[in-house]
Structure 1
Amino acid sequence: MSRTVRIAAVASAALSMVALATPSQAASTTGALMITHVRPNAAGADVSGTTQLNLNGEYFVIKNVTSRTVNTSGYIPDLTTNTYGRALPTYYLPAGAKAYVHTGSGRNYRDSSGNHHIYRGYARHIMPNTSTAKNPDLRLKKPGNRDDNTSTGSISTCNWNTAANGTTYGC
């Protein structure tokens, strides 16, 4: 094998290794906020008898992709598998910041690590753990749009198939 061919083969192999180590393309958005992760199946059992467990272990993460603070009020998380999309509450998310949007109740705040937490106030789990007739798809819609299981007004989406217990998925 000639020296030129060997150098080309080594260079090609090195580039292939770099490509494998490169993270996948980030989720996209056509608005100020982007869904970056989702944990549709909180760790452990969802229910014990009639008591809902670990509601705040079910969440999705949004990121402010602008250079200004964005008020989350009115943005609609819309799941294709149901119509339980309650608009997000008023919360001022700083430029570049991310927020964990929890299913259950709590006080909206910024933690000591700089992460923000927003609570939706549901009394039960709402994100599907498995795909049945449809592949679950979470859409974030601009304020003023409806939770109607259509893509109208969507600015960012995330989907999963069967959600493993306590696993967070990148979008």
Structure 2
Amino acid sequence: MARKRLRSALIAAAALATLVVPVPAQAASTTGALMITHVRPNAAGADIKNNKQVNLNGEYFILKNVTKKTVDLGGYVPDITTNTYGRALPAYRLPAGAKVYVHTGSGTHHRDAKGNHHVYRGYGRHVLPNDGTKKNPDIRLKKPGSRDDNTATGAISSCNWGKAADGRTYAC
């Protein structure tokens, strides 16, 4: 009886395994401790309402710590290739294997109830491109001490998404 149940369970598991095949939209890569995995360059809804920038934190990118140790985000440079803002990431200790949502607007850096980390860049306006310009990539993550100068120097990970749909998150 136990052998029959075990056989049935193995057959069911094998059938299920053939149904679930994860395929990334685009292979993400890095040459450093952090990797850009996703980006939402166009926050859902209007960017400006009553002459004020709104929903700044709906625009973000996600980084993953691909090491087996805690990494301080401080000094890493998100180089957006359609502009130069020169603002490095703030100090924040990201545990091994964890991911962090890097929001455009302001807030208190924290870990939420689901275990996701959030840091805020403090911009008063939307900065990620969503107009479909020909820049490739649209964002690069550069190692600490690198310049925000629209070149690949110091880049460890990058992402391109082209024209961004309203509220859509893109895999890198």
TM-score, normalised by the number of residues in structure 2: 0.85
**Alignment correspondent of 1:5:** none
Distance 2:133 2:167 in 1: 20
Structural mapping, 1:32-43, within 5 Å: 32-43=33-44
**Alignment correspondent of 1:110:** 111
The residue type paired with residue 111 of structure 1 is D
Distance 1:96 1:39 in 2: 21
TM-score, normalised by the number of residues in structure 1: 0.85
Q: How far did 1:21 drift? A: 4.0
Distance 2:43 2:105 in 1: 11
Distance 2:140 2:53 in 1: 24
**Alignment correspondent of 1:159:** 160
Q: Which runs of 5+ in 1 are unaligned?
A: 1-17
**Alignment correspondent of 1:123:** 124
Matched-pair contact (CA < 8 Å) for 2:134–2:162: no
Structural mapping, 1:140-155, within 5 Å: 140-155=141-156
Per-residue CA distance 1:36-69 (angstroms, 9 max, x = gap):
0000000000001320010000000000000000
1:144 is paired with a residue whose SS is coil
Moved over 6 A (4+): none
Matched-pair contact (CA < 8 Å) for 2:133–2:163: no
1:56 is paired with a residue whose SS is helix
**Alignment correspondent of 2:11:** none
Q: Does 1:55 align with 2:71?
A: no
Q: Which runs of 5+ in 2 are unaligned?
A: 1-17
The residue type paired with residue 116 of structure 1 is H
Matched-pair contact (CA < 8 Å) for 2:129–2:138: no
**Alignment correspondent of 1:23:** 23
Q: How far did 1:22 drift? A: 4.1
**Alignment correspondent of 1:83:** 84
Aligned residues: 154
Distance 1:53 1:116 in 2: 22
Q: How far did 1:132 drift? A: 2.8
Per-residue CA distance 1:114-156 (angstroms, 9 max, x = gap):
0000000000000111123535511000000000000000000
Distance 1:124 1:28 in 2: 29
Matched-pair contact (CA < 8 Å) for 1:30–1:156: yes
Distance 1:132 1:68 in 2: 37
RMSD: 1.7
